Amino acid sequence: MTRLLNVLPLPLLALLAWPAAALELPTHAPVPGGVMHLPLDNTQAEQRPDVRFQDHPVMVVPSEQTEYAEQAPWVALIGLPLSLQPGTTQIWVEGEEVAINVEPKTYKEQRITLKNKRQVNPTPLDLERIQREKVEILQALESWSPSAAPVTRLEKPTEGPYSSPFGLRRFFNDQPRRPHSGLDIAAPRGTPIKAPAPGRVVATGDYFFNGRTVILDHGLGLTTMYCHMEEISVTVGDELDTGDTLGTVGSSGRATGPHLHWGVSLNDARVDPRLFMEDEAQ
Ligand SMILES: [Zn+2]
Summarised one tens digit per residue, pLDDT across range 181-193 is 999 999 999 999 9
Instruction: Give the pLDDT confidence score for residue 176 in this predicted structure.
Output: 86
What mean pLDDT comes out for the span 241-256?
Answer: 95
Spacing, Cα 166 to ligand 1 middle (Å): 8
45 CB neighbour count, 10 Å cutoff? 11
Spacing, Cα 97 to ligand 1 middle (Å): 35
What mean pLDDT comes out for the span 30-59?
Answer: 94
Confidence of residue 13 (pLDDT cuts 50, 70, 90): very low
Confidence of residue 18 (pLDDT cuts 50, 70, 90): very low
Spacing, Cα 262 to ligand 1 middle (Å): 7
Q: Where are the beta strands (DSSP E) in 137-221?
A: 162-164, 169-172, 175-176, 183-186, 192-194, 199-207, 211-217
- Closest Cα to residue 144, out of 55, 37, 20? 55
Spacing, Cα 180 to ligand 1 middle (Å): 6
Spacing, Cα 148 to ligand 1 middle (Å): 31
Of 66-70, 117-121, 128-132, least confident by mean pLDDT is 117-121
Instruction: Give the pLDDT confidence score for residue 14 in this predicted structure.
Output: 47
Spacing, Cα 3 to ligand 1 middle (Å): 58
Spacing, Cα 265 to ligand 1 middle (Å): 14
Instruction: Give the pLDDT confidence score for residue 112 in this predicted structure.
Output: 80
Q: Parallel, antiparallel, or unpaired: how do β-strands 56-57 and 51-53 relate?
A: antiparallel
Percent of the chain past pLDDT 70, that is, above it, reads 89
Percent of the chain past pLDDT 90, that is, above it, reads 74
What mean pLDDT comes out for the span 21-41?
Answer: 94
Spacing, Cα 218 to ligand 1 middle (Å): 21
Instruction: Give the pLDDT confidence score for residue 202 in this predicted structure.
Output: 97
Spacing, Cα 22 to ligand 1 middle (Å): 32
What mean pLDDT comes out for the span 137-160?
Answer: 92
59 has a pLDDT exceeding 90: yes
Q: Domains for the chain: give ranges and CATH numbers.
A: 3-102 (2.60.40.1590), 109-276 (2.70.70.10)
What mean pLDDT comes out for the span 213-224?
Answer: 97
What mean pLDDT comes out for the span 230-244?
Answer: 98
Spacing, Cα 182 to ligand 1 middle (Å): 5
Q: What is the per-residue burial (b if ≥16 Cβ within 10 Å, else e) of 115-139?
A: eeeeeeeeeeeeeeeeeebeeebee
Instruction: Give the pLDDT confidence score for residue 122 in this predicted structure.
Output: 84
Separation between Cα atoms, residue 21 and residue 250, nearest integer Å: 37
What mean pLDDT comes out for the span 70-92?
Answer: 96
| Average pLDDT for the chain | 90
- Closest Cα to residue 213, out of 230, 198, 189, 199? 230
Spacing, Cα 269 to ligand 1 middle (Å): 16
Instruction: Give the pLDDT confidence score for residue 119 in this predicted structure.
Output: 62
- Closest Cα to residue 197, out of 231, 220, 224, 162? 224
Spacing, Cα 241 to ligand 1 middle (Å): 24
Distances (CA, A) of 83 to 54, 139, 165: 12, 19, 17
Instruction: Give the pLDDT confidence score for residue 1 in this predicted structure.
Output: 39
What mean pLDDT comes out for the span 41-48?
Answer: 84
4 has a pLDDT exceeding 80: no
Spacing, Cα 164 to ligand 1 middle (Å): 7
The answer to whether 266 and 79 have CB atoms below 8 angstroms apart is yes
- Closest Cα to residue 107, out of 266, 225, 223, 274? 274
12 has a pLDDT exceeding 70: no
Instruction: Give the pLDDT confidence score for residue 256 in this predicted structure.
Output: 84
Separation between Cα atoms, residue 173 and residue 152, nearest integer Å: 38
What mean pLDDT comes out for the span 227-256?
Answer: 96
Spacing, Cα 184 to ligand 1 middle (Å): 5
Confidence of residue 282 (pLDDT cuts 50, 70, 90): very low
Distances (CA, A) of 219 to 61, 96, 198, 203, 238: 12, 24, 9, 15, 14
Q: Give φ, ψ of 198 to 5 degrees.
A: -60, 140
Spacing, Cα 255 to ligand 1 middle (Å): 8
82 has a pLDDT exceeding 60: yes
The answer to whether 100 and 30 have CB atoms below 8 angstroms apart is yes
Separation between Cα atoms, residue 145 and residue 257, nearest integer Å: 34
Spacing, Cα 58 to ligand 1 middle (Å): 25
Higher per-residue confidence, 253 vs 112: 253
Spacing, Cα 89 to ligand 1 middle (Å): 28
